[in-house]
Chain A
């Protein structure tokens, strides 16, 4: 299969080729702690969005964050991504305490995300949109990019190869050159996932990846998420409302309600947790 004449981008593609070579191995192994969230409290003025929440995310696992509307799920994801800085608590990423970061620093750390409301460049093609995901990987400066010959051209070819692999992976070859704005919703979501993957993240954050999809699109998306986790060994944290999806996908689930953690464990444990059942079915809060 690897008949591509294009030189492989050794360091950029390390994860991909490693994943490819490793194929045929036994079940994927969940590793040690990748991210440790310790006693996070996040306030917006007088509103406390998250109150003293702690949990962790292990290497190569699929971690779901669930909870009723307004439980603080998206805020939590924004804390993980570094977009929000909690007033209290610590975020440890790969055994290092993380301070306040600028967005590009977060991206360089290996964290990528998709959004609840699709955030793509509507007028640009699928290919170009996914290419923007490679921005942090581009080494040549603006001068070289402008001249676009020699090293910059070679680099572009390498990035294009990586992007083509993602296009192949997500089975969107047919829309490679189609402007994203013309695509149906389900496909746009897939392109957005493609852009996040283009950054070759260690940790992928998905904010309601299946919202607004029909059953068939959901099944496709589930398969892609599992395959990403499987093939590239990417750790995934996702927010999702469809409980069927969460129970199928996730290795562990953390449940938030009114900004507090009310459950944490395997899907089965969470399903049988009385606090979780109450939160979802609704009981009066005294």
Chain B
């Protein structure tokens, strides 16, 4: 079968192969009207062909770019392959971006077609359509609310499919020719990186990039056609493309789409996928939900839960130290599986997870330990859009907390003189679209790509360890190493803390902004009879400050034991009056903290922290979902935290 697979060097060819080899196996699933609908590979091939023929009927030219905007829907995934069949390039986009952000990508990618999920997306595109002279047609999936729109260049995808089905005779041969002519080196997809700085860049990836990388990683983990996964992360994100498209098409496994974003947890539980990916944030949210529910549970349940979780953690420690558990401990583990871990995994929808990954950001060690100790094979991988995701990943038998694993087969890595990690692989991107300067800056003539992350190879186990973004790693005024993300991750493990931003570069000490988790803190407030009218009021409540202060004190205590970062304990903090939001440019669309923008935007607050003030009045501009702007005024309190004597002295000075 592999021989066959190797000759299929593009997605359309792979689809044809799957339709033949796995005709009756499920390929796509979607929950609609409360029932899981599924399509076999043969059905997917037929549907996709109809879309492709429909596109040709609309005058689709080779090289045309098609923007795909919407949440994870089978039809949108098919549309991407249909675009490739017709000789074009799909450009999936973040559906929660506002029109202003979209217009840049649509214009830069020179999109001639847009395939949107619903009225909301169509409205956004139409509102900027006059600035997009190349845009010829807009297709939509969900007709709801669109009936009275002018349909000269607007089409329902179902209508286009119908036209396509009828156009087999006129366009079928041309389509087959375009499919046959495509090669592995041709552009497969263009993905715009959300970019922590500046304008997004269009990363051009070829079929070879995606398929070779996806295959290597799938073989590494032993993924098979019987595996299943839930596609719920943004389609514009390279990870979704490589998992839900690359690995699904190369292994033949089935990909399910949730009913809506809000029902994702339900759907996950019903589906019980065997392959699961989530950024640390999702794992954090899941844990927070579990912890909130445990707080509300009865005394016996609560006791049982904590007893077995502690037991599991102790066992994990033992296993790591190479000790063999006693008979009693083994018995307790089995009992724990029946009473706590099994049901918990079921609630989380992870009963059947064989391979689980987290990436995108460093995961808090405690968080990571929690999932592994209850028996979920959670591993880390390290990747980038420019690498078609996979750079390193954990092998099943050597999962280390602090590392991100060994290079994926086919990937070479090296550490630069400045501590930055470089890699070279079959997945290395072709270019940044229409941006030759950035391309040469990132990729040298020998094909090495700079990751922008500082790290080193762990001498003990030969795995890669990432410290922080190379540009974020700084030093305190006394020259000692300062790695903000490491501290932030420690803070974020507390369910009360949703997001933290730590400052300290070129300063005497570290200080922090804290974002409370409204779910966790709100629930806590309810249990403690603390009334509040708004997020702001809750955030500034003295009791909340007390609680957050205690969390930071704990963090300091554990930092004190870290030989490398003991001096990075937090001395002062404030709780922010608004949730950090991508719409306000404080987070990226993948929800990473935009350190620089935050430092600039909240400059007055940073100054107040370091000036030693007790409180500060501030006004902040906010953007609502529909793009309107408003402002929030608040007086924020600033508090000090106790720090601890560091254990073991640190003489590690930041690499310059």
Which A residues are within 8 Å of any B CB, using their own CB?
Answer: 1, 3-4, 6, 20, 22-28, 160-161, 164-165, 167-169, 171, 173-174, 176, 216, 223, 226-227, 230-231
Whether B148 pairs with A26 at a CB distance below 8 angstroms is: yes
Whether A4 pairs with B145 at a CB distance below 8 angstroms is: no
Q: How far is the CB of A18 from chain B (nearest CB, A)?
A: 13
Q: Give the distance in Å from the alpha carbon of A171 to the alpha carbon of B37 in the complex.
A: 18
Whether B156 pairs with A24 at a CB distance below 8 angstroms is: yes
Whether B151 pairs with A227 at a CB distance below 8 angstroms is: no
- 11 further A-B pairs in the complex, CB-CB below 8 A; given A23-B147, A24-B151, A27-B148: A1-B32, A24-B159, A160-B34, A161-B33, A168-B33, A173-B260, A173-B263, A174-B266, A176-B34, A227-B145, A231-B144
| B35, CB-defined interface residue at 8 Å | yes
> Which of B37, B143, B260 makes the CB contact (< 8 A) with A4?
B37
Q: Give the distance in Å from the alpha carbon of A24 to the alpha carbon of B145 in the complex.
A: 10
Whether A167 pairs with B34 at a CB distance below 8 angstroms is: yes
| B259, CB-defined interface residue at 8 Å | yes
Check A25/B260 contact, CB under 8 A, given A4-B33, A174-B266. Answer: no
> Which of B141, B144, B266 makes the CB contact (< 8 A) with A227?
B144
Check A3/B32 contact, CB under 8 A, given A24-B151, A174-B260. Answer: yes
Q: Give the distance in Å from the alpha carbon of A24 to the alpha carbon of B156 in the complex.
A: 8
5 pairs, A vs B, C-beta closer than 8 Å: A6-B35, A173-B34, A174-B263, A176-B34, A230-B147
Q: Give the distance in Å from the alpha carbon of A20 to the alpha carbon of B146 in the complex.
A: 12
> Which of A25, A165, A230 makes the CB contact (< 8 A) with B33?
A165
Q: Give the distance in Å from the alpha carbon of A176 to the alpha carbon of B33 in the complex.
A: 11
- Chain B: which residue is nearest A2 at the CB level? B158
| B262, CB-defined interface residue at 8 Å | yes
> Which of A6, A161, A173 makes the CB contact (< 8 A) with B259?
A173
Whether B262 pairs with A174 at a CB distance below 8 angstroms is: yes
Q: Give the distance in Å from the alpha carbon of A232 to the alpha carbon of B148 in the complex.
A: 13
Find chain A residues with CB under 8 A from B34 CB.
Answer: 160, 164, 167, 173, 176
Q: Give the distance in Å from the alpha carbon of A230 to the alpha carbon of B119 in the complex.
A: 14
Question: Which of B39, B159, B259: most chain A Cβ within 10 A?
Answer: B259
Q: Give the distance in Å from the alpha carbon of A31 to the alpha carbon of B141 in the complex.
A: 30
Q: Give the distance in Å from the alpha carbon of A223 to the alpha carbon of B32 in the complex.
A: 22
Q: Give the distance in Å from the alpha carbon of A28 to the alpha carbon of B158 in the complex.
A: 21
Q: Give the distance in Å from the alpha carbon of A24 to the alpha carbon of B144 in the complex.
A: 10
Q: How far is the CB of A228 from chain B (nearest CB, A)?
A: 11
- Chain A: which residue is nearest B154 at the CB level? A24
Q: Give the distance in Å from the alpha carbon of A167 to the alpha carbon of B260 in the complex.
A: 12
Find chain B residues with CB under 8 A from A6 CB.
Answer: 35
Q: Give the distance in Å from the alpha carbon of A25 to the alpha carbon of B150 in the complex.
A: 10
Check A223/B145 contact, CB under 8 A, given A3-B37, A161-B33, A174-B260. Answer: yes
Q: How far is the CB of B285 from chain A (nearest CB, A)?
A: 15
CB within 8 Å: A-B pair count: 60
Check A28/B148 contact, CB under 8 A, given A3-B32, A23-B156. Answer: yes
The interface residues of chain B, by DSSP majority, are classed as loop
Whether B148 pairs with A23 at a CB distance below 8 angstroms is: no
Please give the number of chain B residues whose Cβ is less than 8 angstroms from any Cβ of chain A in the complex: 23
Which B residues are within 8 Å of any A CB, using their own CB?
Answer: 32-35, 37, 39, 141, 143-148, 151, 156, 158-159, 259-260, 262-263, 266, 625
Find chain B residues with CB under 8 A from A4 CB.
Answer: 32-33, 35, 37
The interface residues of chain A, by DSSP majority, are classed as helix
Whether B145 pairs with A230 at a CB distance below 8 angstroms is: yes
Find chain A residues with CB under 8 A from B260 CB.
Answer: 171, 173-174
Q: How far is the CB of B19 from chain A (nearest CB, A)?
A: 18
Q: Give the distance in Å from the alpha carbon of A174 to the alpha carbon of B146 in the complex.
A: 24
Find chain B residues with CB under 8 A from A226 CB.
Answer: 145
Q: How far is the CB of B258 from chain A (nearest CB, A)?
A: 9
Question: Which of A25, A171, A174: most chain B Cβ within 10 A?
Answer: A174
Find chain A residues with CB under 8 A from B263 CB.
Answer: 173-174
Q: Give the distance in Å from the alpha carbon of A28 to the alpha carbon of B148 in the complex.
A: 8
- Chain A: which residue is nearest B35 at the CB level? A4
- Chain A: which residue is nearest B149 at the CB level? A24
- Chain A: which residue is nearest B147 at the CB level? A23
- Chain A: which residue is nearest B264 at the CB level? A174
Whether A169 pairs with B147 at a CB distance below 8 angstroms is: no
Find chain A residues with CB under 8 A from B151 CB.
Answer: 24
> Which 7 pairs between the two chains have the least Cβ-Cβ distance?
A174-B262, A164-B33, A174-B263, A3-B37, A173-B259, A23-B143, A164-B34
Question: Which of B144, B259, B260, B262: most chain A Cβ within 10 A?
Answer: B144
- Chain A: which residue is nearest B75 at the CB level? A1
Q: How far is the CB of B291 from chain A (nearest CB, A)?
A: 20
Q: Give the distance in Å from the alpha carbon of A174 to the alpha carbon of B159 in the complex.
A: 29
- Chain A: which residue is nearest B159 at the CB level? A24
Q: Give the distance in Å from the alpha carbon of A248 to the alpha carbon of B573 in the complex.
A: 47
Whether A168 pairs with B147 at a CB distance below 8 angstroms is: no
- Chain B: which residue is nearest A227 at the CB level? B145
Q: Give the distance in Å from the alpha carbon of A23 to the alpha carbon of B144 in the complex.
A: 9
Whether A25 pairs with B147 at a CB distance below 8 angstroms is: yes
Find chain A residues with CB under 8 A from B156 CB.
Answer: 23-24
Find chain A residues with CB under 8 A from B147 CB.
Answer: 22-25, 28, 230-231
Whether B35 pairs with A230 at a CB distance below 8 angstroms is: no
Q: Give the distance in Å from the alpha carbon of A171 to the alpha carbon of B34 in the complex.
A: 12
Q: Give the distance in Å from the alpha carbon of A176 to the alpha carbon of B151 in the complex.
A: 34
- Chain B: which residue is nearest A22 at the CB level? B147
Q: Give the distance in Å from the alpha carbon of A110 to the alpha carbon of B497 in the complex.
A: 52
Find chain B residues with CB under 8 A from A27 CB.
Answer: 148
Whether A173 pairs with B262 at a CB distance below 8 angstroms is: yes
- Chain B: which residue is nearest A161 at the CB level? B33
Q: How far is the CB of B124 from chain A (nearest CB, A)?
A: 15
- Chain A: which residue is nearest B626 at the CB level? A219
Q: Give the distance in Å from the alpha carbon of A230 to the alpha carbon of B145 in the complex.
A: 7
Whether B148 pairs with A169 at a CB distance below 8 angstroms is: no
Q: How far is the CB of A16 from chain B (nearest CB, A)?
A: 12
Question: Which of A1, A23, A230: most chain B Cβ within 10 A?
Answer: A1
- Chain A: which residue is nearest B141 at the CB level? A1
Q: How far is the CB of A238 from chain B (nearest CB, A)?
A: 19
